[in-house]
Structure 1
Amino acid sequence: MLSPTISKMNTISVICFNFNIIFLIVLLLFVSLSSQLGSKVEELPGFEGPLPFELETGYIGLGERDDDMQVFYYFIKSENDPAKDPLLLWLTGGPGCSSFSGLAFQIGPFAFKTEKYDGNVPNLVLRPQSWTKVSSIIFVDLPLGTGFSYAKNLTANRNDWKLVHHTHQFLRKWLIDHPEFLSNDFYMGGDSYSGIAGPAIVQEISKGNEIGLQPPINLQGYLLGNPLTTRKEKNEQIPFAHGMGLISDELYESLKRNCKEEYINVDFRNELCLRDLNYYDECLSGIDPYNILYRYCKDDSTKKHEGPWIRSLTQKFDSSLNSPLTEWDTRCQTYHFFLATQWANDQSVRKSLHIREGTKGKWERCWKSDFEEEISSSFVFHVNLSAKGYRSLIYSGDHDASIPFMSTQAWIRALNYSIVEDWRPWLLENQVAGYTRRYSNQMTFATVKGSGHTASQDKPDEGYAMFSRWIASKPL
């Protein structure tokens, strides 16, 4: 005969077992229902034949009611081993640029074919250097109103902190819908303006794990390309321009003397400084700040979507995506942005992507209007994340004049961590692909030689080599 203690223990075990069974049934039922949010995409207009990779699109609702806030995403499974490979969530900058930019122009498995637009659906080609060769990637349209995401009250949901909270909420809900990825290593990734929100998102995910938010996220680290961080980047833009031979020694020395090396908060009564800054703007008026090697294109409509921290370096551009087609030059980097707009607004494309009818009017790659920039600097988040020991990769295209590698190096130095591997070249096919350095806070800094603001777009082979080595915890 069992003792009362053993009998009580057996009863508790049965109750716990039954509770776990009930929990699993509820979870499976929820997953079964919520999986309707995601739909597999078999074919894409402009691409010949079935897709040679697994693409899923869908919406995740964040509001109390389904139609309050709907975040659209593209999910591509790793082409290697999705059960074991890392999971990456990619957020494009802007603020307010669709992460379709990351998918189609930078790190995804397809790109637009460079050819004159003839009125038909633009053609797509495979990108062999896709980061999905070694990781599964979620490309998310946030902030709300960006890409195909929509909400009832957009104005109230378009600021830095809402972007942070929404991305965090999206990820946990997405993982409930995709429980097979709960055990995969997770990394947050982004570039440009995502340097502001990205580290804050990682910190919020970390804190959520600590207080037991469900489901748990297997957070390992983050990576950022040419990231806006302190909003003081313009103070390094001028030394960068001098180092690259874009302004004379005399102008550089005069700028330093008259502006006292402060080029952001300039006293309007300081006529000598303003004179030098005007001369500086004239010297760079025919240069693309995103990559000083690019062909300069007056119809570069993307610049009007960027924040004042970049606009201040460039001239005002009046043309838009509605410019006559004859004005578009296929040699311009932004020609592909034009193709993307034509592609995403085609009804056959929307049908293939399972876009809900009546939820979105004209698709625009970037939509910055009414976005409130609340976070003055993301430096403090890097401090906090470094203390927690998360891995990080910070990389810079070394020909970007908008967020120069010098400004990124400056805030990394300010973290005050010791160097564990000093400055050295990293190689691809026995050629220097850039330079790198590692720090004791598990942070790796790297440059990508000859690339600009979106390094993997300019140098896809080098970008893939850098990412695939780092994500596998191998030396660059």
Structure 2
Amino acid sequence: MDLTHPRKKLRFLLIISLLLLSLRRQDYNVEAQNSDKVVNLPEQPSNPKISHFSGYVNVNQENTRALFFWFFEALSEAPTRPLVLWLNGGPGCSSVGYGAASELGPFRVAENGTSLRFNQYTWIQEANMLFLESPVGVGFSYTNTSSDLDNLNDSFVAEDAYNFMVAWFARYPQYKSRDFFIAGESYAGHYAPQLAEQIYDRNKVKPNESFINLKGFIVGNPLTDDEYDNRGILEYAWSHAVISDSLYDTAKRNCDFKSSNWTEPCNVAMNTMFQKYKEIDIYNIYAPKCTTSNSSAASFLGVFNKSPAMKDWFKRVRWFEGYDPCYSDYAEKYFNRVDVRTSLHAGTREISRWKVCNNSILQTYQFTVSSMLSTYRKLIKAGLKIWVYSGDADGRVPVIGSRYCVEALGLPVKSEWRSWFHNHQVGGRITEYEGGLTFVTVRGAGHLVPLNKPEEALALFSSFLNGQELPSRP
């Protein structure tokens, strides 16, 4: 190149400067990622080798809000696999304690709470998995502004989660161009579509450096619409012999699920129904009930002893994001170890006790959104791939309510309701709708499908990501 011409020389120097700046940014990202890398996690199995990272991302400089993440690279072909963000709900329950460490992550905490074992049905066989403790106040995530905890609502959570993803991609730019999906369960039935909507809207107005390559979301046993979900809870309890005919008739006669202000007779009937559910595990009605748990999740179990007004009732019934309260004991014992916190880069924060579920968030959370159906319609029209799956043994967010929600969207049916198979047995049922929505059931699974039916859950997740149909024959 002839650099004698001043303009060419200036252009050359500008290119060199940009390259050096890019290299410095890359060095910074490598340095940041290296500092996040988890090494010597206590009791981690040595085989297979798993590359994982954890730490904090600041989502609000003014209030010093930071969300904690735990990220696992895919077991194979990580550079070409998609990135999936997993969210647990509650609100107030940890995606580290549930999603990562009891459902679909590569590690399971053993029953004594002092060791880990490899999960052979981990979803990192299919994708790079990012687990986020959200909102602030959950798990290791924190805020230095206490008033934040009094202002939590769906919009607050979606904004923080969006800011987290933008900052996380800046820290891990090699994943920015990957196909990106959101996944979650229970109250993530709000979190996932609302974050997807936030990303979709911001992608249309934000500059390229903030663009997120969102392709869709998948949610399990999701709270979606208060009217249909609550109607489904009652009908499921009656149809599965949890409550008597007379209680069912009383509730039907007194409850208008379209209204957010229930009558006192309705409150009494529904509270009586939940009292009956205390005799079994509402999250998996055919599973044995744990009777020894002392975890933060289990502490929600006593909240039905009172009969408060409807507003408080909503806060009560949205408790405990989980299936096995005994397992919560093991998780809390493990993640409260000093050496575990240090390895996960969470030891610098003065968190008195890590909890699977933060009860106080549930009590202060502002439930301002009653239905996600309009958001579904918007995102279906936008062309996102959306799957809703439902463990059919869950009494808390039962399959009946989820079917009502999906049918309320009024979409034309693309493929009729049919059985799908796994290991020569019926895995569940599936139906597809025009526009990219699919509804799947998982036979015999409760609220936490990947925990109850890990093989079927992995097959379902693989089908969602790869576009391959679930088998229609044994």
TMscore range, shorter length? 0.7 to 0.9
Aligned to 2:138: 146
Match of 1:92 among 62, 71, 88: 88
What's the offset of the Cα at 1:59? 1.5
SS in 2 for 1:41: coil
Aligned to 1:133: 125
The separation in 2 between residues aligned to 1:313 and 1:204, in whole angstroms, is: 24
Verify: 1:29 aligned to 2:20, yes or no: no
What's the offset of the Cα at 1:284? 3.0
**Greater Cα offset, 46-55 or 235-244:** 46-55
CA RMSD between the two structures: 2.9
The separation in 2 between residues aligned to 1:77 and 1:156, in whole angstroms, is: 32
State the TM-score, normalized to the length of structure 2: 0.85
**Cα deviations across residues 286-334 of structure 1 (Å, max 9, x unaligned)?**
12111111222355552545994484499xx9xxxxxxxxxxxxxx922
Q: Is the 8 A contact 1:144 1:154 kept in 2?
A: no
The separation in 2 between residues aligned to 1:402 and 1:359, in whole angstroms, is: 34
SS in 2 for 1:409: helix
The separation in 1 between residues aligned to 2:412 and 2:13, in whole angstroms, is: 52
Aligned to 1:227: 222
Aligned to 1:340: 331
Aligned to 1:103: 100
Structure-to-structure mapping, 1:276-291, within 5 angstroms: 276-277=269-270, 280-291=273-284
Letter in 2 for 1:403: V
The separation in 1 between residues aligned to 2:200 and 2:269, in whole angstroms, is: 46
Q: Is the 8 A contact 1:37 1:59 kept in 2?
A: no
Structure-to-structure mapping, 1:64-79, within 5 angstroms: 64=61, 68-79=64-75
Match of 1:44 among 41, 44, 51: 41
**Greater Cα offset, 281-290 or 121-130:** 281-290
Letter in 2 for 1:289: I
Residues 173, 258 of structure 1: alpha-carbon distance in 2 compared, 3 angstrom cutoff: closer
Q: Is the 8 A contact 2:297 2:325 kept in 1?
A: yes
State the TM-score, normalized to the length of structure 1: 0.85
**Greater Cα offset, 43-52 or 274-283:** 274-283
Aligned to 1:240: 236
Question: Whose helix fraction is larger, Structure 1's or Structure 2's?
Answer: 2
What's the offset of the Cα at 1:348? 1.0
Q: Is the 8 A contact 2:87 2:191 kept in 1?
A: no
The separation in 1 between residues aligned to 2:51 and 2:194, in whole angstroms, is: 30
Letter in 2 for 1:131: W
The separation in 2 between residues aligned to 1:138 and 1:185, in whole angstroms, is: 13
Residues 156, 18 of structure 1: alpha-carbon distance in 2 compared, 3 angstrom cutoff: farther
Residues 25, 228 of structure 1: alpha-carbon distance in 2 compared, 3 angstrom cutoff: farther
The separation in 2 between residues aligned to 1:285 and 1:98, in whole angstroms, is: 23
Aligned to 1:320: none
Residues 303, 29 of structure 1: alpha-carbon distance in 2 compared, 3 angstrom cutoff: same
Q: Which ranges of structure 2 fall in alignment gaps of 5 or more residues?
A: 302-311
Aligned to 1:296: 289
The separation in 1 between residues aligned to 2:371 and 2:339, in whole angstroms, is: 42
Q: What is the aligned residue count?
A: 442
Letter in 2 for 1:404: P
What's the offset of the Cα at 1:283? 3.7
The separation in 1 between residues aligned to 2:373 and 2:72, in whole angstroms, is: 31
**Cα deviations across residues 145-174 of structure 1 (Å, max 9, x unaligned)?**
211122211432533212101111111111
Q: Is the 8 A contact 1:234 1:309 kept in 2?
A: no
Aligned to 1:4: none
What's the offset of the Cα at 1:261? 6.7
Verify: 1:455 aligned to 2:449, yes or no: yes
The separation in 2 between residues aligned to 1:310 and 1:14, in whole angstroms, is: 64
Structure-to-structure mapping, 1:343-358, within 5 angstroms: 343-358=334-349
The separation in 2 between residues aligned to 1:24 and 1:291, in whole angstroms, is: 56
Percent identity between matched residues is 29
Residues 62, 275 of structure 1: alpha-carbon distance in 2 compared, 3 angstrom cutoff: closer
Residues 13, 390 of structure 1: alpha-carbon distance in 2 compared, 3 angstrom cutoff: farther
Q: Which ranges of structure 1 fall in alignment gaps of 5 or more residues?
A: 1-7, 318-331
Letter in 2 for 1:57: S
What's the offset of the Cα at 1:427? 0.6
What's the offset of the Cα at 1:468? 0.9
The separation in 1 between residues aligned to 2:372 and 2:9, in whole angstroms, is: 48
Verify: 1:174 aligned to 2:171, yes or no: no
**Cα deviations across residues 424-468 of structure 1 (Å, max 9, x unaligned)?**
111101110110111112011101110111111111011011101
Aligned to 2:308: none
Aligned to 1:365: 356
The separation in 1 between residues aligned to 2:19 and 2:357, in whole angstroms, is: 41
SS in 2 for 1:383: helix
SS in 1 for 2:210: coil
Aligned to 1:206: 200
Aligned to 1:440: 434
Q: Is the 8 A contact 2:419 2:427 kept in 1?
A: yes
**Cα deviations across residues 382-412 of structure 1 (Å, max 9, x unaligned)?**
1110110100111011011111111111111
Aligned to 1:60: 57
Residues 83, 231 of structure 1: alpha-carbon distance in 2 compared, 3 angstrom cutoff: same
Verify: 1:380 aligned to 2:374, yes or no: yes
Letter in 2 for 1:246: V
What's the offset of the Cα at 1:139? 0.5
